[in-house]
Every structure is written in C-alpha cells, then in structure tokens.
Amino acid sequence: MNLSDMLGLADIQQLGRIADVYRCECNGNSKNELIQSILSTVSRNDVFEAQVSSMSLEDLRFLNSLLFEPQGSYSLEDLIARVQQSRFGSTPVHNAAVAPAKNRRVKKNAMPAPPPSPREMIVKFKHQGWLFNGISGPGRYLFQVPADLKTRFRDALARRFATELVYAEEPPFYRDEQTLMEGDVTCLLHYIYHHEVQLTADGSMYKRFILQLMGLLGVQEELPAKGEWRFGYGKHFNHYPNRLSLLYDYCSANRYIAENQSQLTLTAAGEARLAAAPQGENASLYRYWLKAYKGPIVNLLSLVHWIDSLAANWVTVASLRTALVPYIKPYYYDSADTILDTRIIAMMVHLGLLRLGEHPDSRAVVRMTKAGHAIISGTLHGEPKSPRTQHL
C-alpha cells in the first residue's frame, strides 16, 4: 500500500502526531483535512529531503534494512532486532547541519545522551509516517513501510551516495566470469563422479583432492593459510577457498553430493545435474550465496542492490567503499572493508554479477553485467548470453 492508503487506515491520533512532526496547519479534528495536509506536505521534495538529511547514521542503517526486503510486513521483534543491528561504530549525523562550535554551549565532562531505545526509534518512525501497523486483527502487530515512500527513500539515498562516487572510463582489461560458476558446478560433479574422493574425520576433502580439483576449475584460488580464522560463510569454509567453498556448499544443499563416512559420492540428483544443467542456475547460485552469507552480513541484500544501482557504469571501488562501508557491520575478524572487498565484490565477480577491471594508474573499477542486473532485479528470463570476456 502507498502512503495515502495507510493514512486512510490510521486513526486520528496517529494522524495528529504525524501532522505535528511536519507542522501541518489544518483542522486536527478532521481526518480528511489531516490526510490531505500530510500528503501535501510530505510530497514536497524540500520537506522530504530535510527529513532524510536530519537522520542519524543509525536511523539510515535501520531504514536501509527495510528498503529492499521482499517481505511486506515486519513484526515488532523483527524491527527491534534491525534497530539493534544498526548500532555499531560511530553514529554521527549524516550530512545534517551542525551549529558552529562558538554558537553551542558545551558542558565540561558532560556525558553524551544515551541513544533512544529500539522501541523509541520505532515510535519515532511511526510519528514521521514511515511505519504503520494494522488497527485490528492479527495485522495490528505487523508493521509496513508505504511502498511509494520506499521508492522515494531509495531515490534519496541513491542521490546521496552518488555524490561520493567516482566514475571512470572502461579499463583496458577486466575480469568477466559469467557462466564460469555454472560450468564449475559441472566440473566439481564430474571430478567426484570419476574419482574416489576420500574425506578426513571432519568431513572435508584431503588436500591432494582439493588441489587436483582446483587445478580443473575456471578460476584459480589459493588454499586458506594454515591457522587462518575462517568461519561463518559456509559448511566447510574453514577448509576450502571462498569460491570453491560456495560451489561445494551449493552442491551439498541441492543434494548433488553426499558425504558417506569417509568418501564423497555423487547422488542420483547429482548425476542428473551432471547430465544437464537446470535453466537459470546462475540465479540459483546467486540466491544460495545470499542465503549462505546473510548470517554474518545481515544487510547483504541491500548492499547488493546498492552496488547494482551505483555500478551501472564503471565506478571506482574506492568510492564505492566510501559510500557503503558505513553501512557494513564488521564480523569478528572481518573488517567492514574486508567484507565489501572479499565477501561481496569478489563473490559478485565470481557469480558473474560484476566485472572487475583495473586502470593503468592502479585504480580498481567495477561495473554490473547485464545478466547480473537482471538476476538481482528479478527480471532474468532464461540463460544469459556469454559476452565478450577479457581476463586480467
């Protein structure tokens, strides 16, 4: 539903609180006048931009977590969890006007004001007309963001991010790994079918099998360093390189392979997949990656959508980092920069969603592929055609 629909369902008390936030001058006892005045005020770009500009970084992180989710409704517990997940690192006001120091009185040894509780932040969003909940039945405990406001918020944040981006010409060389991941699913299953792959006590392949397999794959990787802390991104992530780990887990989740005590074998489903790849497997690999990585990277979906939006043309990785790192929560030994570079951008390249290039001045640049944009936006029909490929 759009804002006008939700205002029509709201009670007059909530309408009055929203009207107070936007300083609407109207008859507070008339629901119709309240709705018309709120819609008229909120539709003004200057008012809307002022509201967004005054938001703290925590507010923006919380809002960002709601903008790309396919689900339309959120429970109170879900919203509270999202508020808590938005609180990490420093929380400066993002692009908000701040009075000069000489005009502000600062008390010595003054303790900073505690941040609002998650419930208080949710109430604030309700009073701004950005969150609504039902008025009766089971829906009264579920919250929604008006669909048209979601679009306006995305547009406003996109303009904000765009001011920090540095675009570039097409680099002389770039990596384009479209269809390679799908081909390496076949390669992995083919290897297991033709070899007796032995497993260690922890269920991982012995090193000699891993090295043999990696030599056959379309993208070469190095084994994880001995003693390196690796966890959170897959079943055997601590034993296999990033891309191989995703391939292995994808095949395991689809029951193409089975760990039978000390041996890795192909299942009947695996033999059927080896004979013919299913249509749209690149999209399936992408969805599995989101599922596997969304635990440590809680807002992965929104970050992927922002990269899709911001990298429609060649853009420097450094400027993308400036725009997006404030929205990435570190995960144990992974800093926000590592997550963006290694867990998101590098994996999007492996999945064929992004091209990665480098200019002679050593600037790394990326650009979305057409198939990648179609997969992320959900408009892909059939298999993408293989474009011209250049490798670094």
Q: What is the pLDDT of residues 252-300, one digit of tens each?
A: 999 999 999 899 999 999 999 999 999 999 999 999 999 999 999 999 9
Amino acid letter, residue 11: D
Residue 214 Cα to chain centre, angstroms: 29
Helix axes 147-162, 45-53, angle to 10 degrees: 70
The predicted model scores a pTM of 0.87
| Helix, strand, coil tally for the chain in percent (to 5) | 50, 10, 40
220 φ/ψ sector (left φ>0, alpha ψ -120 to 50, else beta): beta
How far apart CA 366 and CA 349 sit, in angstroms, is: 9
Report in angstroms the alpha-carbon separations of 86 from 82, 119, 283, 343, 385.
6, 14, 29, 19, 39
* 246 or 69: which leads in pLDDT: 246
Phi, psi for residue 93 in degrees, rounded to 5: -70, 130
Confidence of residue 365 (pLDDT cuts 50, 70, 90): very high
Q: Which strands sit side by side in the sheet containing 197-198, from one edge to the other?
A: 197-198, 263-266, 257-260
How far apart CA 139 and CA 134 sit, in angstroms, is: 5
315 neighbors 167 (Cβ within 8 angstroms): yes
Q: Over the stretch 7-26, which tens digit does the pLDDT of each residue have?
A: 998 989 999 999 999 999 88
How far apart CA 19 and CA 27 sit, in angstroms, is: 10
pLDDT of 302 strictly over 60: yes
Confidence of residue 71 (pLDDT cuts 50, 70, 90): confident
